[in-house]
Structure 1
């Protein structure tokens, strides 16, 4: 469990403890210096599309079947009016799974819980201090 929040963007006792949004993406699909930006509403749409793929049996061992990625990315881009690449969506999915694992481990530790309204982990001051000390 040592240093498991390192680099996760957690800030003690704040609703801003959610992961920082990635770098901005150019609206020009021909831009060569694009880095995908993932606002929360884009994460929601991606999660909905991934859930649909799960229901249809296209997710095996926690991963989307390779041949399904291009279709998922096309649907995502049409719904959002974006120009995400297959690789940027795959990386986002990988990061979402890593964030989920971190939050799951944290909220299942003794004394920790989940705030349904703010969508952040909650604990006593002492437990937060322990996490801060381990991750400094």
Structure 2
């Protein structure tokens, strides 16, 4: 989560709460979506906009963070694999969602891991995964 937030998205972390990372950064929902698409090199995002004009606090969890929605204290939550009822729960709590996709948010893990392992006296093979889904 830290590597993804700082190195990939380019945000400064305000604080952490277990699996959640929080960022304080005032921008519109549309600007945040554009930023995320640019940083992750994505053409489309699946989103749920609660209608807040200004997103001041962002929560981030790589992978599948939908089960954490009840713990999120932010204007927008970035994660992957959100389900229908999780989106409804988020909207009822005035939280916008940006579904990054599970693979899209975790594909950088091998880079992060390689950085940590390269100075250890170990021989390690890191396999880069391929997204099993395609978009048309």
Fold match (TM-score > 0.5) = no
User: Could you state the TM-score of these two structures normalised by the residue count of structure 1?
Assistant: 0.31
TM-score norm. by structure 2 comes to 0.31
Query: Higher helix share goes to which structure?
Result: 1
Q: Over alpha carbons, which structure has the higher Rg?
A: 1
- Looking at secondary structure, tell me which structure has more strand per residue: 2
